[in-house]
């Protein structure tokens, strides 16, 4: 059975579920790919919001929460990153983490004719993607991230991996493997602890069985590229104010890992801990705090 936005929206508290808007599908041709985008209806909202999902996610998974959070304050677009969602990828074995960075940067540039301020919102692994996109393009008015998973931090990688010891030594382990079998694809569930996606096991199971989300297979070279990617050092990041709105009860990527990164950021930085929320923030009062935080950032961006 096809899994869509309604399946993910089901897990939001009723008050927020009622705020969800219906997205429309759009397509963007990029380097031989048909990139699928979810968009809100065109509006005179004062700000644009680009949502970025992480590994195991997709635009349909992020859409309900981001539309409930931003509402009428922003015109929203959320792309399906290559390998995930409905984006048509001609060479799945050739996708790398850097492919995601390049695509997001080019999407920001492609839509830069719209002069309204742009806020980047990254969830899970998408947090650092949003951060790096802001650093590369310098076109964002602000960045909001629910997680800042730094692959150069062994403790952060230990937490995120399905087998902690392997995550802590990911760089050393993946480099030689990628050289001989980089195009081989592994189920994401083999490397990520998808069972910790949410405090609600039903939502974790939905993410894990979504064949366009958590059930996707990723190339070994993609994992190696992520582990070795040289992100902009936080001490050099001055592209935009950065807000970390981290789930306080995140059993997959504990807040301390992201906070270590945030404390080194040169740009104005703000920390909000979302009370009662797991990695996929759907619980109250944290989801309401995420809504308040995001709306504050959107207003400041204008």
pLDDT at site 163: 46
pLDDT, one tens digit per residue, over 208-232 is 999 999 999 999 999 999 999 999 9
Listed by start position, the domains of the chain span 5-301
8 Å CB contact between 82 and 100: yes
The model carries a pTM of: 0.95
pLDDT at site 168: 52
CATH architecture of 5-301: 3-Layer(aba) Sandwich (3.40)
pLDDT at site 278: 97
- pLDDT reading at 184 higher than 70: yes
pLDDT, one tens digit per residue, over 120-172 is 999 999 999 999 999 999 999 999 999 999 999 988 887 776 544 455 556 77
Residue given tokens 């996610």 in the structure block:
57
pLDDT at site 166: 52
Rounded CA gap, 32 and 28, in Å? Answer: 10
The share of the chain scoring above pLDDT 70, in percent, equals 97
pLDDT, one tens digit per residue, over 267-283 is 999 999 999 999 999 99
């Amino acid at each position: 059975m096809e899994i869509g936005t309604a399946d993910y929206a089901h897990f939001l508290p009723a008050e927020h579920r009622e705020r969800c808007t219906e997205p429309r599908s759009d397509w963007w041709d990029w380097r031989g790919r048909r990139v699928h985008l979810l968009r809100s209806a065109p509006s005179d909202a004062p700000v644009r919001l680009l949502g970025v999902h992480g590994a195991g996610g997709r635009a349909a998974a992020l859409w309900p929460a981001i539309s409930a959070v931003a509402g009428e304050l922003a015109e929203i677009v959320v792309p399906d990153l290559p390998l995930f969602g409905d984006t048509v990828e001609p060479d799945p074995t050739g996708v790398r983490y850097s492919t995601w960075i390049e695509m997001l940067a080019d999407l920001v540039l492609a839509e830069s004719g719209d002069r309204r301020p742009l806020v980047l919102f990254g969830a899970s692994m998408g947090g650092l993607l949003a951060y790096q996109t802001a650093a590369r393009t310098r076109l964002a008015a602000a960045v909001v991230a629910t997680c800042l998973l730094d692959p150069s931090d062994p403790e952060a990688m230990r937490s995120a991996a399905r087998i902690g010891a392997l995550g802590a030594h990911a760089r050393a382990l993946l480099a030689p493997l990628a050289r001989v079998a980089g195009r081989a694809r592994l189920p994401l569930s083999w490397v990520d602890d998808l069972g910790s996606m949410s405090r609600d096991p039903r939502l974790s199971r939905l993410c894990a069985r979504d064949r366009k989300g958590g059930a996707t297979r990723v190339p070994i070279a993609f994992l190696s590229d992520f582990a070795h990617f040289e992100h902009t050092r936080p001490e050099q990041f001055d592209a935009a104010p950065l807000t970390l709105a981290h789930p306080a009860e995140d059993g997959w990527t504990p807040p301390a890992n992201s906070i270590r990164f945030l404390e080194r950021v040169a740009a104005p930085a703000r920390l909000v801990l979302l009370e009662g929320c797991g990695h996929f923030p759907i619980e109250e009062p944290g989801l309401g705090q995420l809504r308040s935080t995001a709306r504050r950032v959107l207003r400041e961006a204008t």
